[in-house]
Chains A and B, each alone.
Chain A
Amino acid sequence: MRLNYPVHVRIIRVPCTGKVDILHILRAFEKGADGVYLVGCMEGSCFYEQGNFKARKRVEYAQRLLEQVGTGGERVQMFNLTSGEAPKFAQFAREMTERIKTLGPNPAKLAGAASKGPAAGQAAERGAA
């Protein structure tokens, strides 16, 4: 169909939205993403049965956390479609892009700290001891 969708969207392919971890979403924002959205199969038709439900719960969790840290929960969204619905995929990309444009950049970038070093402290020890 060669549909157009906004160039600002960077696609990361996963075998199932159930693979997307809450940490993937949070780290994206730490690294300066302005928005993150998941596009999964229709609810009830997950090949792995529960994958997209799990993804939805994680998205909702991320929304709550991002709201509390001042990033804004509306920067994360879950969308669902079937594999034959390419126009919908393009439409979600436009919807999300519009929303982010209205919201403006990731507040971390506005605050200026992100440019000095995204995800400050991320290099700190993990899993020591």
Chain B
Amino acid sequence: MSATTPSKLEKMLKAGHQAVTSECGPPRGSDAEAIKEKARMIKDHVDAINITDNQTSVTRLCSLAACIHLKLAGLDPILQMVTRDRNRIAIQSDILGAASFDIHNILCLSGDHQSFGDCAAGQNVHDLDSMQLIQTVRHMRDEGKFLGGEDIKRPPSMFVGAAANPFADPYEIRVPRLAKKVAAGVEFIQTQCIFNLDKFERWMGEARDRGLLEKVYILAGLTPLKSAGMAKYMKNRVPGMDVPDEVVARIAGVPKEKQAEEGIKMCIEAIQRLKEVPGVAGFHVMAIEWEEKVPEIVEGGGLYPRPKLD
């Protein structure tokens, strides 16, 4: 399969390699050094780097500007874009802005509700939803047109991704929902953090049975746990997260000072197991404020060195 965009991530996937992506959160200030430093730590171990878009609705340096910093540093960023904060004018405009810097990847999200963040009293936009954002990018890229119908001079060339949560409720529509995103035009999926490997494998099996895995690349999302406390927090407090009791028990079963090490080990084991699951096209490692551990995880998972593309 030949790539349709210059995205390194797309080329890697289409060449049949298991891809590795990771993510960095922009700083709460205008010093870009922090995000550049995070990216430098992981750049040799990943194919592309997601830049989160005001995650958990906390105001930060914008995803687009941070992506530009990485792009100028020679990296391949994935522009995360939430529909919470932009109407269709701003969305199309930001897509063109990103395209003008040859940012070739976008991840289409609805975004956490603003009540979680530092502007709970603010409005949300949600002019489009995440599926409609996927359609919008594909329309701009493939038709070379704005939503309004006019031609775009030099349309964006972006590899289009979205998130999927195999664990959210209601379970019966998890696969139909993926099918819907595929129908909307999504090309790669980064999943929610996987702790319940059995359930993830079941979901993959059902997606495979529906023939979806021939149409979309699934990158399994993994997050190393730092402590038993974090495991419990993820289990009980983070919406749509499925952390099985045995995962919490395992990390809680080792002494506090060894828990971080155990968390990394569990993450590596997950990669090793999921690598063998048919249809797993790669991994998305979300080491939250722990980016320095990404190389160790990627190496431990047997995903390093990264394949060279021609």
A–B contact, 8 Å CB criterion (strictly below) = no
Interface on A for B, CB 8 Å cutoff?
none
Interface on B for A, CB 8 Å cutoff?
none
